[in-house]
Structure 1
Amino acid sequence: MKQVIYTKQAPAPIGPYSQAVKSNGFLFVSGQVAIDVAASGDIQAETRQVMENIGAILQAAGMDYSNIVKASIFVKDLNNFGTINDVYGSFFTSEHGEPYHPARETVEVARLPKDVNVEISVIAC
């Protein structure tokens, strides 16, 4: 059984896909970008907005960041890795206040949709 998840608190899809799909206890969140923030060139603000978009989608599905088990990060410039990593990491803490980090990969790509600098997708359960 599949359930499409949608919230107005995150950007509407810019193509033929859903913000997220929930199936058999798993939530598959499509890659999120920060279109408005990307134009500023502030990678920290852009990454924060992407993570907030993900948080809104998780909330719409009855989940939160602690439910994320896998993340995929796509960046235009791997020189921004440290900044992206710091912002991304700040969204994860366990029930006991200790850091919790899902499995993930980070990949440098030639170009991203809408010429953003970072895109992140996640799987949660």
Structure 2
Amino acid sequence: MKTIINTPNAPAPIGPYNQAVLSGNTLYISGQIAFDPKTNELVLDSIAAETTRVMENLKAVLAAANMTFENVVKSTIFISDMNQFGEINSVYGTYFNTETAPARETVEVANLPKFVNVEISMIAVK
């Protein structure tokens, strides 16, 4: 059985998917980009601001499922320019305790939705 998780505190899906799906105790969060859910505008002022918006969107989806970043067991980061990895990683790291941080991969890709610079998806477990 699956439960659909959607919150107005994160951007609405722009296609045939949901923000997240809870199956048993496992939450699968769709990739988030830097849409501000209040304005529906992309936050692209800097890679740090863009990454912060992505992480805040993920935080909102986790909260809608009564979870936090401590529940995250796996992250996938897609970036359009590996030269921005350091800045993205610095922002990302502020959301986790180093000792309990999730498994993760970071992949450079040719393009991302809306031609943003970073997209992050997560898996969390209660």
Q: TM-score range by the shorter chain?
A: over 0.9
Q: How far off is 1:101 after superposition?
A: 1.3
Q: Percent identity?
A: 59
Partner Cα distance (2:32, 2:119) in 1: 5
Q: Deviations over 1:16-37 (max 9, x none)?
A: 0000000010000000000411
Partner Cα distance (1:37, 1:104) in 2: 24
The reply on whether 1:37 has 2:47 as its aligned counterpart is no
Unaligned regions of 5+ residues in structure 2, if any? 36-41
Match of 1:124 in 2: 124
Q: How does 1:46-65 map to 2 (within 5 A)?
A: 46-65=50-69
What's the TM-score, normalizing by structure 2? 0.92
Partner Cα distance (2:102, 2:32) in 1: 17
Give the 3-state SS of the residue equivalent to 1:51 in structure 2: helix
Q: How far off is 1:99 after superposition?
A: 4.0
Match of 2:25 in 1: 25
Match of 2:92 in 1: 88
Cα root mean square deviation, aligned = 0.9
Unaligned regions of 5+ residues in structure 1, if any? none
Q: Deviations over 1:38-77 (max 9, x none)?
A: 2x3x000000000000000000001000000000000000
Alignment length (residue pairs):
119
Partner Cα distance (1:18, 1:119) in 2: 15
- 1:34 is matched by which residue type in structure 2? A
Match of 1:3 in 2: 3
Match of 2:107 in 1: 107
Give the 3-state SS of the residue equivalent to 1:14 in structure 2: coil
Deviating 4+ runs (over 3 angstroms) = none
Give the 3-state SS of the residue equivalent to 1:37 in structure 2: coil
Partner Cα distance (2:100, 2:57) in 1: 19
